[in-house]
Structures are given as structure tokens and as C-alpha cells.
Chain A
Amino acid sequence: MKVTGIKVTQQSHPLSRRMGEARLPAGRLTESCCIMELMTDAGLTGIAIGSEGVRAHIGELVKDVLVGADPRGVRGLWRRMLDARSAHRHGRYLHEAIALLDVALWDLKSKADDQPLWKTLGGARPKANAYASGVDLALSDEELSAWYVATAHDYGLRGGKLQVGLDPDSDLRRLGLMHAALTQATADPVLMIDADECWSPKEAIGRTREIEKRFDLTWVEGASRSWDFPGLKQVSNAIRAAVCVGEGFTTCGEFLPHFHHRSADVIQIDIGAIGITGALQVADSAFGYELPVTLSAAPGNIHAHLSSVMPYFMSLEVIDPVPAARFYTSDVRIEQGWAIAGNAPGNGLVVDARALTRTATRAKASR
């Protein structure tokens, strides 16, 4: 089996709600993304969905590294893609492009194996502990309550992550609202906060300690800048909650200072940034340090496939229990607080070609 080319379709679609964080408090209502269809001579197509910024890199990467290669050699191809672009350090979209191609290659590998991705990876019982993440700073109190009530009631999600950081009093009030909403699913909701890196370490300590007088927090994410390992270590030493680090990290090396200095208590892995191959490597490293692993949200919640092969898997983030976009479906369902991957071969993402063509903002096929 050989890769023959790729079709990249750019899409814009309405979000399920207004999404905002400390650095974008007004929020946004639409999202642009790229749908990648990696084609092979065996008639199988590998699917991945990611941000629109990757488009610039995809075509060249496929042409330079992937065309003619057997997608089953995905681990080696991930390395080859990184090596082929090793001079382009810290190119965010470049790394995302490599990550998404890696996701598409794993999709192909498991389709060639005629197995769901979780099984090709060696996993079992694909039932992953999930939590709700509202990306909710732009929601009114009523909208906030309604969303967490719905996720708790309809999907049984027992944990929630609130966007905080700009207004301590509102943060406390809204944590109370999220907590109350989640009691629909459990008497003891799991509470997390994300300050989107808007605090200094000392602000993070002050704000978190104030919150901890009233709420028991499982982790604080975005407590300070993601590269500030001494600052994050300082935060971890001063608060009860775990410090969660790693969202958007694009290489294994970015985790190294946090491993070495123990400045992260929970390792967050984002397959859209580091790919599945990279995610598996980081998860093994985290296991070496006995650090729990949580997975950042992924389109269609396909990160559920990875949970059972990660020895210290803790939880995964769910932003939308069902994809908001109409042009694809997923074989992962959220049920009673768990993300459950189905038995369809590959990662279970299915692109609706008609819906895609109807709504595509711009389409381009390259070989």
C-alpha cells in the first residue's frame, strides 16, 4: 500500500456555542478547519481534521515525504517528517501539519489492518474517563449552567473544566454554577480550572488558593506560561491542586523541562499538535515519571482510541459530545461519563462528501 496524494478541504462552520477563554473573552462563534483525506493506491483514505493554518505545509510534506511510502510505517514516517523539516524550529502550524498527517496515517494503518484504531494500537475496553470542557468564558451564567446541566444529564459527564482568570468573583460564582450543574451526574463533581496562561505564578497561587478555600480542584491548567517551568513548579508547590501542562505542545522535547523539574503534575497531550505517534511517546515518558496523562479535545473525540494503551491515562476532554460540524461523523460516543470508541475500522471519522462540497470555503487537491 502506498500513499498517492492528499485532498485538503478548507471549511468554516458554526460552533455549538460561543467559545471564549481568558485571552479571547468575547469568544467566537465560528471555526475554520481543514479536512485532510490522505489517499492510497489500495483505495483506502486516511482522515484527519485540524486547524486551517496547517494548509500551507500539508502539500509539500506529502509530496516530499509521504507519496510512495507505505502508511503502515507511520512511526518511521512521523520521524521522517520531523527530520525533513528539522531546520524549521518551533513552526507551530508545521508541527500541527505533521501531527495531522500522523493521525491520517494511523487511520490508514488501522484501516489496512481492518481494525478500529484502538485495537491496532493494542488497546482494549475503549471506555475512557471523560470530562466536560465548556470553553465557556464568553457564556452568560444562564448559558453556562445550561451547558453543564446538559452534559451532565445527557452524557453523564462527572467533571467540568471552567475557563477562569479575569475576574476572581465571577470565577468563584461560576465555579459554583458548574458544580451545581454537574451534580446532575454525581454527588462529587470533579472540578478543574483553566486560566489560559493569563496569570503570573504569584497570581496563580493567590487566585487558586482563594478558590481552594471553597472548592476542591483536581487541576489548574494554564496557570502560567507553558514554558515557565520554574514558575509552574512554584505554583505546584504552593497549591493543593495538580498543575496541568502540555496543551498544544508539538514535540516530545517541550515536555522535557517539565518532566525533569517536576513542574507538571498532570501531563496534557494534544494529538492535534503532536500526533498519535508523539502522544504515545509522551504518555510512556509520563508513565516513567508516574505522572497521569490527560488528552486535549480532538475533533470527533477520536482521542478516546488512545486511552487504553496509555499506562497512566487519567481523563480526556470533551468540548462537543457530538461534532458541531455537519460534514463529518464520528464513531466515538459519549455515554454515562465515558468516551467509547466503536468498532468501525480506523479512527471512525467519516466525511460526508456531499455536505463537504456544499459548504467548502475552498477546496484543493494536490498530488
Chain B
Amino acid sequence: MKITGYKVEPYLMKMDRLVGDANLPSGVEMLPGSILWLETDENVSGISLGYGGGIESLFGAIEGADPREVAALWIRMNDVLHKGGNEGAASAALSAIDTALWDLKAKLADEPLWRMLGATEGRVKAYASGLDYCLSDEELFAFYRRMAELGIDSGKLKVGLDLKADLRRLGIMRDALSIASARPGLMIDSNEYWSPKQAVRYIRQIEEHFDLIWVEEPARRWDYDGLRLVSQQVSAAVASGENLHSLSDIYPLIANHSVDVINVWTGQSGVTGLMQIAHMADAHGLQVSMMNAQANYMAQIAAALPNHNMMEVVDPGREHCLKWDSRIEDGFIVLGDAAGFGIEIDEAKLKALQANPPSGRGKFPFPRREGAGRYIVPPAPGEVPWRSGR
């Protein structure tokens, strides 16, 4: 059993709706995708979704190796990256390769990844996340009601630019979710738009009206002093980590008690890297929450984490060329028994997407908005489809 080759196929998707946050409240509907196949001499390939190129820079470290030795290969790749660091494009490549190796390892054992990783059951609590700053009040209600109808009882709202409108929309989200729970779980996310003290002022005003489970990225990703300051001054937990890419990036946040919840995903140095983060967090009594993913594929990993609370479900329509083996039931992502991540690629649809790329408004990722970290620039007239609270 040997790794013999790879291929990467980039493509462009048009989602079913706009997604947006404080940095780009008008939203985008275009999403670049990419699929990596790691090929073996036994006609099985491992896939990973969502990363770009750079694979050639690391492929030499795994070529000819047995993919079942993935944890040791992770160490080897990390050592190869020693001088330049496990950062940036190199980190994305390591993440993609490690993720595909785990897919292979589970496929070779003919097990779903959750079982290969040692989870007792393929079941992960979900929360709804609209990436919804670009949605009108009506669309906002419709999204969270649709999620509540699947039994999902918690939601995370994009906030940060308009306190009164955010308060109104938190009420709308709570009402929509109230059919799933008498006390829906509420979270907010300002995507690093605030300074730490702006965050404290803003969040404490929200907390006069709503009980929040967590506030996400209330300060810059690396600002362990600022994040700790926010955590000490608000009731809600502080969540962060999605924009950091390895255990060594996240270490200062854990060691300095800066965050209460760590957002994890495979972009943090793969399945191996995110499990390292979850394990270190668990030893410190911290929870982790899995990021959203195409076809919720990362639930396969979340199921095996000892300290996982709930996983983000966005469902904006990113599964154009995918078939998957999971469903949402009674508020949980329920994983099937298909091997690996349980994802199959419809290569005909992929080729069609590549041949005729769709077009639409904007393209992920979002840039940083004017004023971020210093002063708030509210949405200009016509920038968002909702009414200002001012």
C-alpha cells in the first residue's frame, strides 16, 4: 500500500444565497472550491475538500509511504516545513494532505472516519449559523426557522456594525429557534471587527437583553491579552481560533487563558493537527466547536473529540458535485457507515462546473472592513437589506 500520486481540481461555485459578516455585510455568493485526490497503488484514493495548491511542495515527503501511517507522516511533513514554518500556503497544503490521508486510512479499513478515529457514535450536535449579515429580517427568520424544523436549537448571528439592529435580529433568531427549544442557545460573531474594549461595551449591552453562550472573534485572532480581557469582562464564553492554523499558533490562547471555546477545523494542520488542538484544549478544560464544512464532512472528526460542544451548520448550498452520507435529525448531524469521510465526487458535474464557471456577486473570502478595530462604520444605505436600528 503506497501513495503514488495526486491531483487537484479547483472550481467555482455559486451558492444558493448570499453569505456575509461585519467585514462585508452586503455578502458574496461565489465560493472557490478545490478537491485533492491522493492516489495509491491499490486503486483507492483519499480526498480532501476546500484547499488550494501547494501540494507539490510537500508531496515528496509522503510519496511512496503507506497512508495508514498518517500520524507519523504528519510529523514528517511538519519537520519538512521546519525552516519556513507550518504557515500560510504550506500549512494549507499540509492540512489538505493530512485530511486526505485520514480519508484513505479509514477507507482502507472500510470504516467511516468517525469509527476509525475511535468515536463511539457517528452523531454530533449542530448549531445553525446563517453568515447572515446580508439577509433581510424575513430571510433571517426563514433560515433559522428552517434549521429549527430540523431540531437545531442554537444559532449564531453575525453582528458588530449596528447595536440596535443586532438586538432586533437576535430576537428574530431566538423566535425562529423557539420551536426547537424554550431556551434557544444564542451566539454572536463579530469576525474581529472590534477592539477588545469596543467588544466589551457592545457585548455587555447585548447581555442586558440576551444570555449568550459565546461571542466569537471579539478581538484579533492572535491577541491573547485582548481576548482574555474580553473573556474576563463579559458573561459569555469567548470563542476564537478559526483563523489560526496549528497548535503552535493556538498555544498562546490556551496557555494565557484567553479563550473559553476554540473553533477547530481541518485547516488547522489537518485532522491530526485539529485533534492535537482539541486534546490540549481538553487538558485545560476548554471546549472546541467544529467549523462549518461542505456537506458537514468535518462532523466525522467532531464525533471523536472528547470536548466537542456543537458544530456549525451553514448550509448555503456548496455541494454541487458532492454526494455524502449524513443527515440532520433532531438537531444532530447523523453520520452514516460509508467509508472515510463518506464523500463521493461526481466528476461529471465537476467537469461541467469547470467548463462553464458560474458567475454571481462577490467572492469568498471577505476583506477587512474600514474602521475595524478602531471605529464602527455602519452599513451605508442600500448596503444591507435590513433596517438600521439607529
Contact = CB atoms under 8 A, between A and B. Distances in A.
Nearest to A311: B75
B356 interface: no
Contacts of A288: 247-248, 250-251, 254-255, 276-277, 280
Contacts of A77: 120
Contacts of A308: 69, 71-72, 75
A74 B118 contact: yes
Contacts of B280: 284-285, 287-288
A285 B250 CA distance: 11
B120 A80 contact: yes
A69 to B, nearest CB: 7
A150 B254 CA distance: 45
B304 A122 contact: no
A70 B118 CA distance: 10
B70 interface: yes
A115 interface: yes
Contact of A73 (B69, B109, B120, B279): B120
Interface in A282-334: 282, 284-285, 287-289, 308-309, 311
Contacts of A76: 118-121, 303-304
A79 interface: yes
A276 to B, nearest CB: 10
A364 interface: no
B283 interface: yes
A252 interface: yes
A72 interface: yes
By DSSP majority rule, is chain A's interface helix, strand, loop, or mixed? helix
Contacts of B303: 76
Given A73-B121, A121-B71, A260 B255 contact: yes
Nearest to B303: A76
A29 interface: no
A277 interface: yes
The interface centre, meaning the residue of B105, B121, B276 with most chain A CB atoms within 10 A of its CB, is: B276
B117 interface: yes
Contacts of A281: 279, 282-283, 306
A91 B251 CA distance: 31
Contact of B111 (A72, A115, A277, A285): A72
B78 interface: yes
Interface in B162-188: none
A125 B79 CA distance: 16
B304 A311 contact: no
A72 B283 CA distance: 23
A259 interface: yes
The interface centre, meaning the residue of B78, B272, B279 with most chain A CB atoms within 10 A of its CB, is: B279
A255 interface: yes
B13 interface: no
Interface residues of A, number: 37
B157 interface: no
Interface string B241-273: 000000110110011000000000000000010
B68 interface: yes
B68 A289 contact: no
Contacts of A56: none
B283 A289 contact: no
Contacts of B116: 72
Contacts of B66: 119, 124
Given A72-B118, A308-B71, A124 B65 contact: yes
B306 to A, nearest CB: 5
B280 to A, nearest CB: 4
Interface in B313-346: none
B283 A255 contact: yes
A43 interface: no
Contact of B115 (A73, A125, A280): A73
B159 interface: no
Contacts of B118: 72-76, 109, 277
Contacts of B71: 121-123, 308-309
A124 B72 contact: yes
B283 A253 contact: yes
Contacts of A123: 69, 71-72
B275 interface: yes
A256 interface: yes
A289 B251 contact: yes
A288 B279 CA distance: 10
A113 interface: yes
B38 interface: no
A284 B280 CA distance: 6
Nearest to A313: B75
A201 B277 CA distance: 33
Interface string B50-74: 0000000000000001101111111
B284 interface: yes
10 contacts: A73-B120, A74-B118, A75-B120, A122-B68, A122-B73, A122-B272, A282-B283, A287-B276, A288-B248, A311-B74
Interface of A: 69-70, 72-77, 79-80, 109, 113, 115, 119, 121-125, 252-253, 255-256, 259-260, 277, 280-282, 284-285, 287-289, 308-309, 311
The 6 closest A-B CB pairs, nearest first, are: A76-B120, A122-B71, A75-B118, A124-B72, A124-B69, A73-B120
Given A79-B306, A280-B279, 5 more contacts: A75-B118, A76-B118, A76-B119, A256-B285, A281-B279
